Amino acid sequence: MAGLHRGARVLDLATGTGDLAFLASAEGKTVVGLDITRRMLELAAAKHAGSGGPRFIQGDMMALPFCAASFDVVTTGYGIRNVPELTPAIDEIARVLRPGGRFLSLDFDRPDNRVVRAVYFSYLTVVGSILGLLLHGDPDTYRYIPQSLRTYPGSREVGRMLKARGFDWLVVLPVLGGLLAMHSAQKAEDGNR
């Protein structure tokens, strides 16, 4: 979906341990992975100690340390939902993308139906607690996910925000029956909002 071409410059936001950054880099692309958490970047860098591969830097997606129009593609997996303020983050994504550049985001979604949403949040809380306990010895490790979804506006509203902030082509794809969503958006060719 990213439409990567030879020589594409890719920015992966909230890169965490770098999974998306490594996928793009394996395609022969120039990739920068950015995360606000130093420890996540250390784990990402430890995955690939050789030359080449993505470059990892610490930074905030609401104040990206890059020049305007620096990237052809910006990706994020489970990042948009966790940013403290969506509007400045979307503005920064639009700023660093070249005109015609692509933004892709995969994240949990917030179901519209209140009953489905309550069941979904309960499921995420229980499963997250079990996984957190089994994998990390701490049941609170993944409890932030349903909590973050309580304030997340949902995929449709994020889509409207993207359109209002300079993206002229947008597809919102529900994943797993709408429990997750993928945004694929293109920055306007003229670069204007």
**Based on the domain organization, do 102 and 127 belong to the same domain?**
no
pLDDT band at residue 110, thresholds of 50, 70 and 90?
confident
192 within a domain of the structure (yes/no): no
**Based on the domain organization, do 128 and 53 belong to the same domain?**
no
When divided into structural domains, the chain yields a total of 2
DSSP 8-class letter at 192: -
**Residue 57 bridge partners (DSSP):** 34
How many whole angstroms from its chain centre is CA 158?
A: 12
Cα distance between residue 24 and residue 32, in whole Å: 10
The reported pLDDT for the residue numbered 14 is 96
pLDDT band at residue 190, thresholds of 50, 70 and 90?
confident
4 within a domain of the structure (yes/no): no
CA dihedral angle for residue 130, residue 182, residue 55, residue 4, rounded to 10 degrees:
150
State whether the Cα torsion 82-84-90-92 is positive or negative: negative
Domain hosting 128: range is 111-151
pLDDT band at residue 141, thresholds of 50, 70 and 90?
confident
Cα distance between residue 161 and residue 10, in whole Å: 22
pTM over 0.85: yes
**Based on the domain organization, do 103 and 138 belong to the same domain?**
no
